[in-house]
Structure formats: C-alpha cells, structure tokens
Chain A
Amino acid sequence: MKFKVNNNEVYASTGGRPFDKKKPLIIFVHGSGLTHMTWVLQTRYFAFHGYNALAIDLPGHGLSGGESLKSIEEMADWVAAVIDAVGHKEASLVGHSQGCLVTVECTARYPNKIKTLSLMGGAGAIPMNPQLLSLAESNDPKAVDLMMDWAHGPAGHFGGHPVPGLYHINTGTMLAKSRTIQNTLGVDFRACDNYKNGFEAAKKVKCPTLSILATDDKMCPVKEGKKLASLIEGSQVDIIDNCGHMMLLEEADRVLTVLKKFITTNYPPLSS
C-alpha cells in the first residue's frame, strides 16, 4: 500500500492482505540499505493471522519516495508518523539491525504508541568500520558485497534458503543495490555510526520486548545484543545457533516461530 508521510509517498508491503483498520498494527523496520522485502518470510504470516503487517520502505529506500533520513532520531519520529498516517493509535514494532536502533528510539520517544518491541540482531550502538563507511558513502558496490559477506554466518554462506530456489546472498545484494548506494547504504551507515543514544533509550522502554540474537552475528554480536536487552526491564532473549546477522532469512522459520509466540501473547490479533 502507499500513503503519505511528511508529503512524501511511503510504500509498505501488507503481506498480501488488504489493510484493515480494525486489525492491530505491526510495523517491520528494515536494516541499512535494504527494503521491505527482507521481511517476506515474517509479514505474510501475520497478515494472514489477524494483523495489519506493514513492512515499510524507509524514505528513499525501495519503493518509497523522498530522501533517506540522516539520523536514527529522525527515522524514529518518522516511524511514529507512519502509525498516525495509517490511522492507528498504537503499534507493535519489529526491527532488524539498524531497524533495532530506530525502533528502540521510537519506543523510548513514544511509549504510549508502542505496545511490543521485537529486535533482531540488535545492539545499543552500531559503530561502522571506517573503510566500509567510506566505501558506502563513495557509492562503491564493494560496500554491499562486504555487508553481505559479514551479515551472513558461515552456514548462511552456503545457502539453503527456506524458500526453494532462492539464493539469499545474491538476493540481499540485489536489494541493497536497487537504489543508489551512497543515498541509501551510505546515509544509513552514517546514521548508525552517529547514533549514541541507544543505551539511554533502552532504559526508557517499558513495553514487552524480545531480542533475537544469533551466535555467528559479526555485525551485532550476541554480547552487544545481551547488553542492550539487559537495560530493558523484563526483556526476553532468544539466541539462534549457527546463524548470522541475516537471521530473518537464514533462520526464517525459527525467527517466525519465536516472533509469533511473543507477539500473539503480548499483542493479540483480531480474532476472526
């Protein structure tokens, strides 16, 4: 579906079901340089089970208009504005990687709007490797190749996608190269590198929170994810073995199973 926020067109996948204002809202926020398509193995389930599942494209990403937002704080405000724009008062947030920084900050800023928070491959801070940042900002496709290398665990490098026939490293690469790299990945990496408020924001989160971490995650290691989770009262942690940062693709079924239990328990669907 398409709608407007701050006069710019926003694209959000609805998981293959029409948007229905009566259903509770879940917003999925993608990682640096990526798009709504990273969530395809999570959103469709929720869309078919009593929720509005909106996998958004951040401004300037995927099918959304406008320019990429330059700070995590701006992205957090924008996510809150998405909730208003689709006519809801509240939502459950799900973030991956950079999306975790955004959703933690959003939850801290708008505690009354956010009912549950699910973090995948999250950390309180994501400082960027200077060379990687420089490559992304200079529009070098090598930045995407490096990100895809580091983002997949050793097992993920072999493939074995849950959807038959899909090779996820190449698919991720294509998503990250679908728009101008310096305008998406470059801006996002800089926003991550500049963001320093993650741990303080986490302390303000009071809603039920789930952190899904992966043992082979090089980008947001388990240690960092646990540190963030420890600051959020009552936070649940689930750790996936033999999996890298792209857990939502590498171990899509496991992620969905854990996510489903957490969200349906804490933010029930509209019963049919």
Chain B
Amino acid sequence: MSDKKKELKPNTYKFDTLSLHAGYQPHKNAGSRQVPIYQTTSYLFDDVDHAAALFNLERGGHIYSRISNPTVGVLEERVASLEGGTAALATSSGMSAIFLAVMTLCEAGDHLVVSSQLYGGTVNLFRLTLPKFGIKCTFVKPRDTEGFKKAIQKNTKGIFGELVGNPGNEIMNMPEISKIAHEAGIPLMVDATYQTPYLCKPFEHGADIVIHSLTKWMAGHGSSMAGILVEGGKFDWMQNDKFPTMTKPYEGYHGLSFAEEFGPTAFTMKARAEGMRDFGPCLSPQNAWNVLQGIETLSVRMKKHCSNAEDMVKYLMNHESVAWVSHPSVPDHPDHELAKKLLPNGRGSMIAFGIKGGKEAGVAFINNVKLASHLANVGDTRTLVIHPASGTHSQMDEATLKFAGLSHDMIRLSVGIEDIEDIKNDFEVGFRAARKPRLVSNQ
C-alpha cells in the first residue's frame, strides 16, 4: 500500500450535472422527477404571522408570482449555479433583465459607461430611453479599453457591455475593463447571451453582474422569451458612497440596508424586492420550464453549435461570394488571442460576414436561402440569418450605424445544429442568387 495520502478534492457537482439538477429537490415536490410547473398567481399563508414574515423578508418563500414563483426559482438557482454566481433573478426577456439591472443600480442623475457594440434594442435603451429617466450614458468602442477609463465620471455607477458585441463579434477585454471598473469603485455588468456559461463564466474574469437573454442559446429552441440577471457576489457595495440605495436604510422595507443584510446577494435581493415589485417584468412559469428543458442539453448543443460554426467559418472564408468573415476563431480576428483566453470551450456560433455585391446581394441572399430562417433572433437550434442594416439595427440612422460597426454588406449568421452539409448547400443557393440578384428576383 502507498503511504501517500489521498489528495482531498471537493465533490460539488460539475457543470453538466448542475445543468440537469441544480435548484431542485424532488422529495420536496411530491417526488416529481421533472420540475413541476407552478401555474399559480399566489400562495397560501399559514397564518397572519407567516404572511408578515414573508413580506418582511424574515423567511424565504413565495407571495405572488410577480415577485417569485417556485418553477422560476429553480431556473434562477440553476443559472446561478452554472455561472458560479450567488443569486439570480429571471425576467420576462433579456431586455427587461438589462432594464432591471440598470434601475437597481442607478437613479436620476447617474451615468453609465457603455460599449457601443450592442444589440440594436439595447443601444436604443441606453441612448434614448434611459435619458428620459435622468440616466445618461457614454458609449465607448469595446476594443478601446482606455476609453472606458476616460469616460468614467464622478456620477458613473457602472460599466455595461456585451462580452462579444452584436453583430460585429468585437470582444470586450473583460479582465482589463473590470480592473478599470473596480479601481473606480463601480461594478462591471456583462451581457453574455452569446456565450452562455458553457463557453464563458464572466465572474471568473472580473464581471460583477451577468445578464442573459435566455431566449437564445440557454433555452435554445426558439420557443420562449426569458431573461436573467446573475450576481457574482464579490462586489463590495459599501466600499464607497456611490450606491446609497444599496447601503442606506430603504424606506420601502422598514429601513432595510440591502448590502448590510444580504451581502453577496444584495443586488439580486434589491432587484427582486424593489424592481419586480415596482416594475413587474416577471417570467411565466411555463416559459421558465421551457428554458429549463433547454438548459438540460446546453453542453451538448453548444458543442455542436460551435463545431458547426467553425466549419461554416472555413467554408465562408474560402467562398468566392464572401468579402470578409468575422468570428473569433479566425486567426486574423483582432480579438483572436483574447477569445482563446475568455472562450476556451468554443468561440460561439455567431458569425458576421460581408457578401460581395453589397446591400443588393445581401437582400438576394436572404430572400433565397430556404433552410436558414430569416428572422430577428439568434441562438436557435436552427440556423438563422438576418441583414442587420435592414433588420435588427434598422432604427439607427447612418451615423449611429457606422458607430455601431455595421456595414450594408453584413450578414449576421447564427449557426444551428443541423447537418453541416445541409447548411452549406442552402448557402450555395443563396450565394448563387446573390451573384445574379436581378435574374433571380424576376423569376
């Protein structure tokens, strides 16, 4: 026998197991192996004392499904576990998760530094809607790391960006930008929808709040809208006086200080207690259940998404109809090395490419592919295509479009998990049409 002592290793569950089990105990739910759908608005109180205890946050539990719901709660815990976060709050969409995160952090007179490479709806939220609430934003190009530092003002309450920008695939240098945020005593909020926790865990690279549109890869099947914000638990809200709504007694809950009382889960507790109570963008239990079904196969799907995407990158780079290809796996992508560090399990399944012939060719391509679906979504199991300049980002004027890094020849491709040869064959049809746009459109 060896004298060598056995090295101790934690046996907490790993990613694939958590994807299937986290947040749920069957023996507390009539032995139901599947997570039950609690299709209810409200929950019985045992007595008046119990009701008061729930309202005062003295006990955990459910009151009303706008605030929390047991099925949604399983989803929240599951995503928190996968991200390595302390807590999560699910919402009706990714946009409502972003709005809720901002409103939990900021009040009128505050300022945010925001990456310029964002989904069009998010750009409009920061550029046009938040100023109506007195919250101003400065946009910085995601690769301009120093630009984030320069844009911070006295009233800046956070930095926000998409880890991989939509649709140009620019990658934020999260480790460096988080250092800048933390030196300024403010949190970094990252939308990691494109990555899912399978490809990247932003908390390991300095993010403080992670946001997902669960509608995309996490749910994965194009069936349900959902969003979530996840808290990392490391950010110290009490380090300065920038966040009085987190650190000072809150009138809405008997003088509660969220930071003192809940520490590493304070942000989520405030977002739920205040945000879900006052704004109410709650997720339906049916949609939460649908997302849970998707998460059960997240690893399996993401592997196939990524391998198909890398095949498509090679195919597009060698295609005569393609002017350029943007994907972090491409060696000359400006963020190729950063992607290796931040996305070790795969570079994602979003590809942007330029089609030769410009806008007219792009329109012909989109109108003639048959397998790939032309729609305003990403992260479906099916392959999706769109022409951003006329679709997702069509509400932008020319200058904003340019600032967002968009061009008229750009096609955004969300690679699905179909047989790769079928996707390529479909694209051949599109490219043939793009080369002869007038001829095809007259058929």
Q: Within 8 Å of chain B (Cβ to Cβ): is A157?
A: yes
Residue of B nearest to A145 (CB): B10
Q: Within 8 Å of chain B (Cβ to Cβ): is A258?
A: no
Please, what's the 1-or-0 string for B56-74, where 1 marks a CB less than 8 Å from any CB in chain A?
Answer: 1111111000001110111
Q: Is the CB of B86 within 8 A of A159?
A: no
Contacts of B234 in A (CB 8 A): 174
Known: A164-B60, A178-B264. A171 touches B8 (CB 8 A): no
Q: Is the CB of B22 within 8 A of A159?
A: yes
Q: Within 8 Å of chain B (Cβ to Cβ): is A231?
A: no
Known: A16-B56, A41-B59, A164-B62. A159 touches B256 (CB 8 A): no
Contacts of B69 in A (CB 8 A): 164
Residue of A nearest to B21 (CB): A158
Contacts of A87 in B (CB 8 A): none
Please, what's the 1-or-0 string for B80-114, where 1 marks a CB less than 8 Å from any CB in chain A?
Answer: 11001111111000000000000000000000000
What is the CA–CA distance of A37 and B260 in the complex, to the nearest angstrom?
A: 8
Residue of A nearest to B266 (CB): A37
Q: Is the CB of A35 within 8 A of B263?
A: yes
Q: Is the CB of B59 within 8 A of A162?
A: yes
Please, what's the 1-or-0 string for A216-241, where 1 marks a CB less than 8 Å from any CB in chain B?
Answer: 00000000000000000000000000
Residues facing A in B206-241 (CB within 8 A) are 232-234, 238
Residue of A nearest to B232 (CB): A174
Q: Is the CB of B77 within 8 A of A159?
A: yes
Contacts of A146 in B (CB 8 A): 8-10
Q: Is the CB of B52 within 8 A of A48?
A: yes
Q: Is the CB of A252 within 8 A of B87?
A: no
Task: Specify which of A146, A162, A167, A170 lies most central, judged by the most chain B CB atoms within 10 Å of its CB.
Answer: A167
Please, what's the 1-or-0 string for A139-170, where 1 marks a CB less than 8 Å from any CB in chain B?
Answer: 00010011011000001011111111111011
Contacts of B255 in A (CB 8 A): 16-18
Q: Is the CB of A174 within 8 A of B233?
A: yes
Q: Is the CB of B73 within 8 A of A13?
A: no
Interface-lining segment among B23-31, B146-154, B415-423, B429-437 = B23-31
Contacts of A13 in B (CB 8 A): 260-261
Q: Is the CB of B77 within 8 A of A48?
A: no
Q: Within 8 Å of chain A (Cβ to Cβ): is B279?
A: no
What is the CA–CA distance of A97 and B243 in the complex, to the nearest angstrom?
A: 34
Contacts of A41 in B (CB 8 A): 58-60
Please, what's the 1-or-0 string for B241-273, where 1 marks a CB less than 8 Å from any CB in chain A?
Answer: 000000000000111100011111100110010
Contacts of A86 in B (CB 8 A): none
Q: Is the CB of B233 within 8 A of A165?
A: no
Contacts of B442 in A (CB 8 A): none
Task: Specify which of A162, A174, A253 lies most central, judged by the most chain B CB atoms within 10 Å of its CB.
Answer: A174
Residues facing B in A228-272 (CB within 8 A) are 242, 252-253, 256
Give the distance to chain A from B258, nearest Cβ to Cβ, in Å.
10
Q: Is the CB of B77 within 8 A of A16?
A: no
Give the distance to chain A from B270, nearest Cβ to Cβ, in Å.
12
Q: Within 8 Å of chain A (Cβ to Cβ): is B5?
A: yes
Contacts of A47 in B (CB 8 A): 58
Residues facing A in B9-25 (CB within 8 A) are 9-13, 21-25
Known: A155-B25, A164-B76, A165-B77. A170 touches B59 (CB 8 A): no
Contacts of A7 in B (CB 8 A): none
What is the CA–CA distance of A157 and B238 in the complex, to the nearest angstrom?
A: 30
Give the distance to chain A from B68, nearest Cβ to Cβ, in Å.
4
Known: A148-B12, A157-B13, A158-B24. A165 touches B58 (CB 8 A): no
Q: Within 8 Å of chain A (Cβ to Cβ): is B53?
A: yes
Contacts of B81 in A (CB 8 A): 159, 167, 169-170
Q: Is the CB of A170 within 8 A of B233?
A: yes
Q: Is the CB of A16 within 8 A of B28?
A: no
Q: Within 8 Å of chain B (Cβ to Cβ): is A115?
A: no
What is the CA–CA distance of A129 and B8 in the complex, to the nearest angstrom?
A: 10
Q: Is the CB of B59 within 8 A of A256?
A: yes
Contacts of A162 in B (CB 8 A): 59-61
What is the CA–CA distance of A158 and B17 in the complex, to the nearest angstrom?
A: 10
What is the CA–CA distance of A271 and B251 in the complex, to the nearest angstrom?
A: 24
- In-complex Cβ contact of A48 among B11, B13, B56 (8 A): B56
Q: Within 8 Å of chain B (Cβ to Cβ): is A44?
A: yes
Residues facing B in A104-136 (CB within 8 A) are 129, 131-132, 135
Contacts of B232 in A (CB 8 A): 174
Q: Within 8 Å of chain B (Cβ to Cβ): is A5?
A: no
Q: Is the CB of B12 within 8 A of A169?
A: yes
Known: A169-B12, A171-B233, A174-B86. A164 touches B68 (CB 8 A): yes
Q: Is the CB of A166 within 8 A of B265?
A: yes
What is the CA–CA distance of A162 and B70 in the complex, to the nearest angstrom?
A: 10
Please, what's the 1-or-0 string for A15-58, where 1 marks a CB less than 8 Å from any CB in chain B?
Answer: 01110000000000000000101001100110110000000000
- In-complex Cβ contact of B86 among A17, A166, A256 (8 A): A166
Residue of B nearest to A144 (CB): B10
Q: Is the CB of A48 within 8 A of B265?
A: no
* Complex A-B: 14 CB contacts under 8 Å: A16-B57, A16-B256, A17-B255, A37-B264, A44-B261, A158-B23, A159-B25, A162-B59, A166-B77, A167-B77, A167-B88, A174-B232, A174-B233, A256-B59
**Nearest 8 A-B pairs (CB), nearest first?**
A162-B60, A163-B60, A164-B68, A174-B233, A165-B76, A164-B73, A167-B80, A44-B58
Contact surface of B with A, Cβ cutoff 8 Å: 5, 7-13, 21-25, 27-28, 52-53, 56-62, 68-70, 72-74, 76-78, 80-81, 84-90, 232-234, 238, 253-256, 260-265, 268-269, 272
